[in-house]
Structure 1
């Protein structure tokens, strides 16, 4: 058991915990915060996998952009007055037991399979190569995606303003 395995275990528990908090939260603001927490945990896992570009993109686009967009959407909409509390019902116990048994089965399969052999070194493209491909070959789709996100943000603001009047 080395430090990398320990860091992966901690980050994966945080990612799964954030996702579970997201699914069980009642307030939308708590959902947005737990989703951002999950995104940061996934970025940490990408760093452990030596995919630094994906980790930075994860933080910039998902944890930064989408989480902030959700928070702005929450701030522009009218919050619900007093949401009812939920109790832990029997079907949630059945779901919990199913998830735990699925986790145990997956862990047994992983530890019994011979996948823990040393892999050969794979060359990955550098950030400069990815950037030049992105801005030379895929410049138009990149700009169309940014315009689409801007139109969605403006549409959300317009719809929120109409409801206030």
Structure 2
């Protein structure tokens, strides 16, 4: 057992545990916190795969910005504190669906012909390659996404500022 295997096992366990806790939790704040743990562990897995840029972007964008955005969304919206009890039949159907999905994924992994040739990516500069592709081939989609995010931000502000007719 190497240190890399132990780190992978722990990060994968945190990612799966955080995602299961996010799905099974009934409080929205607990869901966001567990989702942040999942995002951080996935960033650790990216770093272990020597994709440092993607790992750092995962930490900055998802673990930081998206989690904070969700918390602000929770604080700005009104929601009832009443919890809706889950029906037993739905839990059973969800468990069966998850087991079937796991079976398909396991079967697919076992029947895949994995090649033993590994490419050496350590000599490449990942950030430089991403920058070249982003600002040459994908400039228009990059700008469209920035405009889309700006429109979503303006829409969120308008929805948050909308006055309630009872308060007027």
Question: Alignment length, in residue pairs?
Answer: 164
SS of residue matched to 1:80: coil
The question of 1:75 aligning with 2:72 is answered no
The equivalent of 1:35 in structure 2 is 35
Partner of 1:121: 120
Partner residue in 1 for 2:49: 49
- Paired residues of 1:76 and 1:157 also in contact (CA < 8 A): no
TM-score by length of 2: 0.76
Deviations 1:74-118 (A, max 9, x none): 12111213324547x365357547756875886698689884846
Q: 1:3 to 1:161 in 2, by over 3 A?
A: same
Distance 1:145 1:106, change over 3 A: closer
Give CA-to-partner distance per residue, 1:35-70, whole Å, 9 cap, x none. Answer: 111111110001111111111121122222222222
Does 2:136 correspond to 1:157? no
2:135 matched residue in structure 1: 135
Q: How far apart are the structure 1 equivalents of 2:111 and 2:55? A: 30
| Aligned residue number for residue 92 of structure 1 | 91
Structure 1 stretches lacking a partner, 5+ long = none
CA RMSD of aligned residues (A): 3.0
SS at match of 2:162: helix
**Which residue number corresponds to residue 148 of structure 2?**
148
User: Deviation at 1:4?
Assistant: 0.6
- Provide the secondary structure at the position in 2 that maps to 1:79: coil
Determine the C-alpha separation between the residues in 2 that align with 1:119 and 1:5: 18
Residues 46 and 137 (structure 1), Cα distance of their counterparts in 2 relative to 1, 3 Å cut: same
